[in-house]
């Protein structure tokens, strides 16, 4: 694996599968009473979020802490960014403190790629503008595989505000890497420009007609609803919220039709959800919803990414089991280690 995780395209199929296999060990750890292992003892991870986040920021923080890394959270407000410091100066300042990884969320597409050119530490893209969100795609793949098994040939439909969605961009890459068939659905105003060429190159289908896709000949294994990102919208992309829901929302009626055709269909949403707009409460809370599974997988997958970048990234990749007895440096995520000073 490369030093950074900036794009889902950075990861080969083998690397994705390696990370997901490691995440399974991490998920086992997550279910234990005492969750801490010494895997990243002595490593420092800075979570720098220039944009708001609940899931990604807290799961990266938990992931680092459970692996005994020193984890520090920074946000634009409260850092010297608010005094006008440039992204380059901020990144180089943090890097000069000899940190090991910088997890960055930024509202500018490409910001993480820029930072990676200025620093020595590993950079992890935690969502950059409308560009990519590679760890979200990994946790989505983890969630899908935990229910559907191998994704080769599985049909995943991604619906909603594609224009502003980094989740969609990373997911089409990772799902293709894992052999899934993807159809993306959006109103014409929320279809990214140039998508015709992109979909032809990357082999995914596009549609403006959600009902035609859901009721079509190709059975749907999973539907991923995307958030309508009103904070990124400067104009009128759809006439009213009601009309958006009628055309593109996962309503109770659409859920019932999906389940009637495939009782095992999965409903995903990266969150945060606009209930009643892109997804009805009945769908978000239904037995087919795996929204909270996605959140849970987020911790395990981010532990796995930190592990592969900071502890498992050498010329001869080691199995976690080979590392599990060391307590002085990098050690195994799978070890049922009783951390020092923590009583059961």
Residue whose C-alpha is closest to residue 211's, from 243, 168, 172, 255: 255
- CB of 216 or CB of 271, closer to ligand CP: 271
Residues 245-284 binding ligand CP (CB under 6 A) are 270-272
How many CB atoms neighbour CB 233 within 10 A?
15
- CB of 54 or CB of 82, closer to ligand CP: 54
Contact flag: residue 114 with ligand CP (CB under 6 A): no
Minimum distance between the CB of residue 106 and ligand CP, rounded to whole angstroms? 12
Minimum distance between the CB of residue 53 and ligand CP, rounded to whole angstroms? 3
Minimum distance between the CB of residue 169 and ligand CP, rounded to whole angstroms? 13
How many CB atoms neighbour CB 307 within 10 A?
27
Report how far residue 135's alpha carbon sits from residue 286's, in angstroms, rounded to the nearest whole number: 25
How far, in Å, are 80, 118, 148 from residue 300 at the CA level?
32, 29, 18
Minimum distance between the CB of residue 322 and ligand CP, rounded to whole angstroms? 33
Q: Which of 3, 55, 113, 257 binds ligand CP (CB under 6 A)?
A: 55
Report how far residue 104's alpha carbon sits from residue 93's, in angstroms, rounded to the nearest whole number: 14
Residues 127-146 binding ligand CP (CB under 6 A) are 127, 136
- CB of 145 or CB of 227, closer to ligand CP: 227
Report how far residue 169's alpha carbon sits from residue 149's, in angstroms, rounded to the nearest whole number: 23
Minimum distance between the CB of residue 12 and ligand CP, rounded to whole angstroms? 24
Contact flag: residue 232 with ligand CP (CB under 6 A): no
- CB of 44 or CB of 59, closer to ligand CP: 59
Report how far residue 310's alpha carbon sits from residue 69's, in angstroms, rounded to the nearest whole number: 10
For 190, the 3-state DSSP assignment is: helix
Question: By CB under 6 A, how many residues form the interface with ligand CP?
Answer: 9
Residues 65-84 binding ligand CP (CB under 6 A) are none
Report how far residue 129's alpha carbon sits from residue 132's, in angstroms, rounded to the nearest whole number: 7
- CB of 34 or CB of 295, closer to ligand CP: 295
- CB of 77 or CB of 83, closer to ligand CP: 77
Contact flag: residue 56 with ligand CP (CB under 6 A): yes
| Prior bond of 228 cis (ω within 30°) | no
- CB of 54 or CB of 338, closer to ligand CP: 54
Judged by CB under 6 A, the stretch of 48-56, 115-123, 177-185, 326-334 that binds ligand CP is 48-56
Contact flag: residue 170 with ligand CP (CB under 6 A): no
Judged by CB under 6 A, the stretch of 52-60, 182-190, 211-219, 230-238 that binds ligand CP is 52-60
Mark out the alpha helices in the chain (DSSP H runs): 13-30, 55-66, 87-95, 111-118, 134-148, 166-177, 195-202, 210-214, 241-248, 252-261, 281-284, 291-306, 320-323
Minimum distance between the CB of residue 297 and ligand CP, rounded to whole angstroms? 12
How many CB atoms neighbour CB 10 within 10 A?
16
The angle formed by the CA atoms of residues 175, 148 and 125, to the nearest 5 degrees, is 35
Contacts of 332 (CB under 8 A, 6+ apart): 37, 39, 320, 321, 322, 323, 324, 325, 326
Report how far residue 341's alpha carbon sits from residue 297's, in angstroms, rounded to the nearest whole number: 28
Contact flag: residue 53 with ligand CP (CB under 6 A): yes
Judged by CB under 6 A, the stretch of 49-57, 109-117, 202-210, 246-254 that binds ligand CP is 49-57
Which spans of this chain sit near ligand CP (rule: CB under 6 A)? 53-56, 127, 136, 270-272
């Amino acid at each position: 694996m490369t030093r950074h995780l900036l794009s889902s395209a950075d990861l080969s199929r083998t690397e994705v599968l390696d990370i997901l296999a490691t995440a399974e060990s991490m998920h086992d750890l997550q279910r234990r009473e005492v969750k801490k292992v010494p895997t990243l003892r002595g490593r420092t991870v800075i979570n720098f979020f220039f944009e708001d986040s609940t899931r990604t920021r807290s799961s990266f923080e938990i992931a680092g802490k459970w692996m005994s890394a020193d984890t520090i959270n920074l946000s634009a407000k409260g850092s010297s960014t608010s005094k006008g410091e440039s992204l380059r100066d901020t990144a180089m300042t943090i890097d000069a403190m000899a940190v090991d990884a910088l997890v960055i969320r930024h509202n500018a597409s490409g910001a993480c790629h820029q930072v990676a050119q200025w620093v020595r530490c590993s950079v992890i893209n935690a969502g950059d503008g409308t560009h990519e969100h590679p760890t979200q795609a990994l946790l989505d793949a983890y969630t899908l595989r935990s229910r559907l098994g191998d994704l080769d040939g599985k049909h995943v439909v991604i619906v909603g505000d594609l224009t502003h969605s980094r989740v969609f961009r990373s997911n089409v890459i990772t799902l293709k890497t894992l052999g899934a068939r993807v159809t993306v659905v959006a109103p014409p105003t929320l279809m990214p420009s140039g998508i015709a060429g992109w979909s032809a190159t990357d082999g995914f289908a596009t549609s403006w007609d959600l009902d035609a896709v859901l009721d079509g000949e190709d059975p749907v294994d999973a539907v991923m609803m995307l958030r309508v990102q009103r904070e990124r919208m400067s104009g009128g992309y759809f006439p009213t919220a009601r009309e958006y829901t009628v055309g593109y929302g996962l309503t109770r009626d659409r859920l019932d039709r999906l389940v009637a055709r495939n009782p095992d269909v999965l409903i995903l949403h990266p969150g945060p959800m606009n209930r009643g707009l892109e997804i009805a409460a009945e769908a978000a809370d239904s037995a087919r919803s795996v929204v909270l599974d996605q959140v849970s997988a987020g911790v395990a997958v981010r532990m796995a990414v930190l592990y592969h970048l900071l502890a498992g990234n050498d010329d001869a990749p080691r199995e976690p089991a080979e590392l599990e007895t060391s307590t002085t440096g990098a050690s195994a995520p799978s070890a049922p280690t009783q951390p020092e000073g923590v009583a059961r």
